[in-house]
Structure 1
């Protein structure tokens, strides 16, 4: 079916959607505000239906070639003593760390490489206006010439500015009061193949994860009552982190000392997007822009990949885009609803306020490594990554790379 589709966002959902649209005979253009593909980011995992989509794209082996080789996560105390460990085979192989862990930037790069010969990518520009008409969408850009497309899909994140051009009145962000800073730091002798999770009092967490590039991925996560820290400039955010983590102990000084030199520092407020309707007229949303479940869910990558697959597939099945958008939302809503069932208390349980609370958390984590108890724990820790029957659409057999 010949349609022209503009996609806003070149992270995961956007390029995945472009791939499937091309497979179904449609013409995709991807616009990305950044001047080039964003290489940074922390570790993401491929699990459940998201992994199935990657398999149907013929990219499973390429993804395996890029895994971080992370063996699991250790919960450690301020003397670096291991209090609990969860390997990739813990919790039935679908827990904190899976066998298919790779860097977000590497997955985005893999999707870009797979699509760049068939998709028009425009970097360094963004949508500034959308006018929906009976036979197309007139689009204005910050720097480029005005253009018309049959359809527009917004795939540019939780705080999408383009989404707000169309859906601001029906979009609601759920906040957890949680902030996270992500950045890459030099590898140290203490960094092995296991991630290390450290809790400091006052609801502060430091997480160090190995990558496949000879460096370490650090994150600082904390609960804080003041809203709006994500709107500060990076230097101000880093100054805040130095003050807030000054007495955290463990290897935190090393993390803070190298933070300013990191090439990919990113700071965000953790939240979810609840959009009453995922489309209006000829404009639709996918991935985090439509239904971000937050990193707490462990489902962001799966939702992006599965959403892109289903949206493109339904557009291939329906000549009327309204019917396609309705079918996409009907099929995917239950999957998203389960992924977004993250209790408000979850980040508070994972980041206790007191040293006594931290000791209790480590004790519970240690008990959960027992096989009998871990089977019960999977009911609470495993995301519903397989909780959807993926349709089989025409042209879903992978083409050779």
Structure 2
């Protein structure tokens, strides 16, 4: 049976957007993607990828490419002012908890693989954005910043923490954002030495952390997490760099050298670490997925997997309901609401683990990490966070798609 409400506009070409487009296409819908950037994004940071997101990626046939592009990290190592090892643990426990399906990879690499999965099969509009949405009984009239006005049956916001679709339909971001009191920045450079292959190095002082991770092709990624006040973070590149230099001005270890590399960076990712908490993820013919609906924050560690899971479930429920959007949207939210809430509740604890705000907080964190060498303790301490409590729903169209692949 051909579904009703077939034409679905998806805003955002990150993680949730192309995942949703892929599964909607499998369910007989006609997804159209719009992305404000002029081309697929390549900046960002590395993510740890496992769980339900990995399951969905494998169903999409992306498992081999994820393993090809990803990194099998051996150790997370906390170091002191002079580079000496203070604490750390091997991450083999993650492989054990996920049956070997745990990998570290660039967020943009994952996004690129998802885009490749829909390339040529789905209309994608780059360099434009939604500026107005007008819903009536039969659909949604959408105005764009540059393109002509078009009409769609449904509109889905997959446009991240700072979602324009959410703002247009539900209200200002400030109504839904819960800052966790940290900022995050990341950049890559080529030719940095030293190299520490497959080891994530973390150096911290109270309220600030900088991490270094060696990438392929002689590139190195630097990740900063730092305490901020509740005021707005700078928005211009020069002001963002100036803030990083001020925050880490007296940092030891490689901080002076890393700050010098800022001027060589091709791009700089810079944002707050925040959550989005909403009473409802849909209104009429418009729904939100991923960070746009329920950002758990970078600190929670599963943003990409949750984005893919929400996209998969939304597409599945739309297919199951044959496009009856109210029925599908309600079922989608009902399936994921408690699961997402549990992930959000642990996010602040993870942020504190990365960048404790006091000296004694750092001492305690290091003692806990040292204790992970005790057999079974890391598995006990991390298992609840690593093993997903949600059973991924199985939809008939997904099985048919696999048979046709």
Band the TM-score falls in, shorter-chain normalisation: over 0.9
Task: State TM-score, norm by structure 1.
Answer: 0.93
Q: Which residue of 1 aligns with 2:363?
A: 359
Aligned residue in 2 for 1:216: 220
Among residues 100, 119, 123, which one is paired with 2:122 in the alignment? 119
Match of 2:113 in 1: 110
Paired position in structure 2 for 1:369: 373
Q: Structure 1 stretches (4+) deviating beyond 6 angstroms? A: none
Inter-partner Cα distance in structure 2 for 1:313 and 1:357: 44
Matches for 1:177-196 after TM superposition, within 5 Å: 177-186=181-190, 187-196=192-201
Residue 185 to residue 385, structure 1, CA distance change in 2 (3 Å): farther
Aligned residues: 397
SS of corresponding position for 1:205: strand
Q: 1:355 Cα deviation (Å)?
A: 4.2
Distance 1:167 1:361 in 2: 39
Whether the 8 Å CA contact 2:79–2:87 is kept in 1: the answer is yes
Q: CA deviation at 1:117?
A: 1.0
Q: How does 1:219-238 map to 2 (within 5 A)?
A: 219-229=223-233, 231-238=234-241
How big is the shift at 1:213? 3.5
Is the 1:299–1:383 contact (alpha carbons within 8 Å) kept by the matching residues of 2? no
Separation (CA, whole Å) in 2 of partners of 1:296 and 1:98: 21
Taking only aligned residues, the RMSD between alpha carbons, in angstroms, comes to: 2.2
TM-score (norm 2): 0.92
Deviations 1:41-77 (A, max 9, x none): 2112321111111111111112111112332311111
Partner of 1:398: 402
Whether 2:204 is the aligned partner of 1:199: answer yes
The aligned counterpart of 2:313 is 310
Q: Which moved more, 1:71-80 or 1:172-181?
A: 71-80
Taking a change above 3 Å as real, the CA distance of residues 151 and 343 of structure 1, as seen in their structure-2 partners, is closer
Give the SS at the match of 1:102. strand
Cα distance in structure 2, aligned partners of 1:343 and 1:304? 16
> Please, which of 244, 247, 266 is the counterpart of residue 247 of structure 2?
244
Cα separation, partners in 2 of 1:65 and 1:375, compared to 1, 3 Å: closer
SS of corresponding position for 1:65: helix
Name stretches of at least 5 consecutive residues in structure 2 with no aligned partner.
none
